[in-house]
């Protein structure tokens, strides 16, 4: 017996589940709040820890980029997330522990865990 198969259209043959939306009416507000908090914390990333050698290397690279006015890309750990920022260092302020870019952005030394230099 020969069977004809037809391609499924988008949405056909798939389970269309609404996830937690359908259960919210039966949940207590405290449970919904805890589920949202748990989801936020689940997306957090751990802060990358640098050893003494890596910190020394990072410090030397930052000083070289500042002296030669190279454009850099910094890897930052901010608000439990990692992000990248780029620019040219205008000033380094070791007393306050900041790097100031030419456009005025301030980056704290403690947020930096890596960098790339564009020569």
How large is the average pLDDT for residues 8-25?
60
Ranges of each domain in the chain: 52-118
- pLDDT tens string 66-91: 999 999 999 998 888 889 999 999 99
- pLDDT tens string 36-68: 888 877 777 777 888 999 999 999 999 999 999
105 three-class SS: coil
Domain 52-118: assigned CATH number: 2.30.30.100
Residue 98 CB: number of other CB atoms within 10 A?
15
- Say how far apart CA 99 and CA 61 lie, in whole Å: 13
pLDDT at 1 over 70: no
pTM for this entry: 0.61
What sign results for the dihedral spanned by CA atoms 18, 16, 40, 106?
A: negative
Q: What is the pLDDT of residue 25?
A: 65
Q: What is the pLDDT of residue 74?
A: 93
What sign results for the dihedral spanned by CA atoms 86, 103, 60, 44?
A: negative
Q: What is the pLDDT of residue 15?
A: 59
Q: What average pLDDT is seen over the chain?
A: 82
């Amino acid at each position: 017996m020969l069977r004809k198969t037809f391609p499924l259209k988008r949405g056909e043959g798939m389970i269309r589940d609404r996830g937690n939306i359908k259960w919210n009416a039966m949940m207590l507000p405290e449970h919904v709040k805890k589920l949202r908090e748990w989801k936020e914390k689940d997306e957090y990333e751990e802060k990358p820890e640098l050893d003494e050698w890596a910190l020394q290397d990072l410090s030397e690279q930052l000083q070289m980029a500042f002296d030669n006015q190279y454009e850099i890309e910094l890897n930052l750990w901010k608000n439990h997330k990692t992000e990248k920022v780029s620019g040219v260092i205008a000033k380094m302020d070791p007393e306050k522990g900041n790097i100031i870019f030419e456009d005025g952005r301030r980056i704290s030394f403690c947020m930096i865990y890596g960098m790339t230099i564009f020569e």
